Structure 1
Amino acid sequence: MTYKTIIVHLDRTGACRARTDLAREWARTHGSHLVGLISTGLIDGVIPAEEILSGATDYIAESAQYLRRRAEAISYEFRERVSAGGPMSYEVRLIDATTVDAVVQHGRMSDLVVLGQRDDDEVKDITTRDLPQRVVMEVGRPVLLVPYAGHFEGVAKNVVVAWDGSRESAVALGAAVPALRHASKVTLLSVRAVHDNDADERLRVPDILQYLLRHGIQATAESEVTGIDVGDALLSRISDLGADLLVMGGYGHSRFRELMLGGATRHILAQMTVPVLMTH
């Protein structure tokens, strides 16, 4: 597998610039075609009232024009930031579908989807507040989630892979292979509870290390027994190792479009300090 098509979700938040820069560098490294995806907001229907002139005779038309101008401004900035890094293959797509539907539908025609972490201080639009978890659960592709705080340049060089032997962690590991090939250090990290007595058989660490080696990836393994929250333990060890990417499975399921995520997944989505490559 390679990341031949990368889609990055664009919006008007301040963190979009860092997200664009990271997506651009991943695309350049992997020889990918980069797609900047913008939902205009016409279907979401959330219009900042202060942006429409009072006394407008046709509020609907004025609102549509405002949303189109906003999308085109985001598009212009994306083009400027991408072209500043030198020639590469890219395009912009302005979509009138809801944000979640646009990212999911177009994301399924890509190899990697790049999203920003939810920032409650900036995201006032309730239609996008659950965007990361919805996309992870529905898109069927790996999702690179970028924290809203900090700037992350280039592809990851020091990667931690959260490994518990589950289906979700196996899918995430497989999806991360192209990224792991570019890393200088890969750590397979298993965090388990004190009374987990079946870990060795389930984890099969020697086998998974050989699997990675056949892909040209030299990895080391660590196992940690913890009495604290698994998400906290992962974040703590990531900090200790100085990692710049976490690979993990997204746990949970969707029922009637209501997401129920596992505790570790929710914790990482809320508290991530480095980009997270997540799949479900």
Structure 2
Amino acid sequence: MSNAANCPFDLLVHLRRTDALGAAGAVGLALARRLDAWTTGLHVVPMAPVAFASPEAVALYVNEADAAYRDALQRTPFWQAALDAHGVHGEWQVGQGDVVESLCHASRWNDLVVVERPQLNPDAPIGWGTVSRTVFGATASVVVVPDSAMATTVGQRIAVAWNRSREAALAIRGALPLLARAESVQVFEGEPSENPLGLRNLPNVDLRAWLARRGIDATMVPFGARSAIGAALLDAAHKMDADLIVMGAWGHSRITELVLGGTTRHLFQHSDLPLLVAH
């Protein structure tokens, strides 16, 4: 553990391995340096319930899992060296059990959770995998990092997707510390999301003024895409040379997006930029 420091922001980085930072580690540490955050590296040794279906295999499986857990606990120097290299403070933790449950549990006392999403070999269909379920269950915003991401900077130039939805508002709130430190913030303002209750004349928010009151000078950009929204948003982010996209996730049900497609599904599958999302 690093020496205690005045770190008002807590950031959690999920490491799939204990011998390499991977894309999530690189992005997480870059964010930690930008935010001066207390940064926890978390590795979870999985224990799948299906392994206990066969009594004969239980003892062997538990022994192997416990050995992996003990080995992971010894990886503190690896994480400490990474923290020192980036000039940030933090600690190393190891969990055992279900990865999603561990991440959602730890999100309760962290301000941001950084997870890596495999692009070529996803662990489950978009909407039901580890990352998607973590976004649904976490109490903090989640930074989804494609494993192919080549992050040299994160949070300098931020693209924000805004449709006045609950999810988009939560993502923006979670991103406020980063938005306040960004060199450039462009808000792509699309059509308002459908009101699920069918209510009329709800109170409105002037997002540009709301951000300005928090010291954030955002450029509002009309976003007129009505189809292939995910592809259009990613293209707009590339044109402004963004290094992070902030957006609400799963504004529609996962079933709808799995069957019909959707913005979250497209970006989880195709984005080469980190996504700061909330549900």
Q: Give yes or no for TM over 0.5.
A: yes
| Aligned residues of 2:157 and 2:185 also touching (Cα < 8 A) | yes
Secondary structure in structure 1 of the residue aligned to 2:187: strand
Residue identity opposite 1:82 in structure 2:
L
Q: Which segments of 5 or more consecutive residues in structure 1 lack a partner in the other structure?
A: 47-57, 194-200
Distance 1:139-1:168 versus aligned 2 partners, 3 A rule:
same
Q: Please give the TM-score of this superposition, normalised by the length of structure 2.
A: 0.79
Q: Which moved more, 1:212-221 or 1:22-31?
A: 22-31
The superposition leaves residues 148-202 of structure 1 with CA deviations (integer Å, 9 ceiling, x where unpaired) of 1132134411111001111211221122111011111111102449xxxxxxx99
Residue identity opposite 2:129 in structure 1:
D
Is the counterpart of residue 20 in structure 1 residue 19 in structure 2?
Answer: no
Residue identity opposite 1:220 in structure 2:
T
Residue identity opposite 2:72 in structure 1:
A
Task: Tell me what 2:110 maps to.
Answer: 110
Task: Tell me what 2:15 maps to.
Answer: 10
How big is the shift at 1:97?
A: 2.5
Distance 1:33-1:245 versus aligned 2 partners, 3 A rule:
same
Distance 1:278-1:15 versus aligned 2 partners, 3 A rule:
farther
Identity of aligned residues (%): 28
Q: Which segments of 5 or more consecutive residues in structure 2 lack a partner in the other structure?
A: 1-6, 52-58, 193-200
How big is the shift at 1:28?
A: 2.5
Task: Tell me what 1:220 maps to.
Answer: 219
Counterpart CA distance in 2 for 1:3 and 1:179 is 14
Task: Tell me what 2:129 maps to.
Answer: 130
Secondary structure in structure 2 of the residue aligned to 1:84: helix
Counterpart CA distance in 2 for 1:94 and 1:204 is 44
Secondary structure in structure 2 of the residue aligned to 1:40: strand
- The CA RMSD over aligned residues, in Å, is 3.3
Distance 1:44-1:8 versus aligned 2 partners, 3 A rule:
farther
How big is the shift at 1:59?
A: 2.9
Counterpart CA distance in 2 for 1:269 and 1:122 is 10
Is the counterpart of residue 141 in structure 1 residue 146 in structure 2?
Answer: no
Counterpart CA distance in 1 for 2:21 and 2:64 is 23
Residue identity opposite 2:163 in structure 1:
D
Structure 1 segment 248-263 matched on structure 2, within 5 A:
248-252=247-251, 259-260=254-255, 262=257, 263=262
How big is the shift at 1:25?
A: 2.5
Distance 1:229-1:240 versus aligned 2 partners, 3 A rule:
same
| Aligned residues of 2:13 and 2:41 also touching (Cα < 8 A) | yes
Counterpart CA distance in 2 for 1:45 and 1:36 is 27
Q: Please give the TM-score of this superposition, normalised by the length of structure 1.
A: 0.78
Distance 1:45-1:15 versus aligned 2 partners, 3 A rule:
farther
Q: Which moved more, 1:244-253 or 1:94-103?
A: 244-253
Structure 1 segment 115-264 matched on structure 2, within 5 A:
115-121=115-121, 123=123, 130-192=129-191, 207-252=206-251, 259-260=254-255, 262=257, 263-264=262-263
Counterpart CA distance in 1 for 2:210 and 2:170 is 13
Distance 1:252-1:99 versus aligned 2 partners, 3 A rule:
same
Structure 1 segment 30-109 matched on structure 2, within 5 A:
30-43=35-48, 59-60=60-61, 62-68=63-69, 71-72=72-73, 75-86=76-87, 88-109=88-109
Counterpart CA distance in 2 for 1:61 and 1:97 is 11
Residue identity opposite 1:149 in structure 2:
S
Counterpart CA distance in 1 for 2:116 and 2:74 is 19
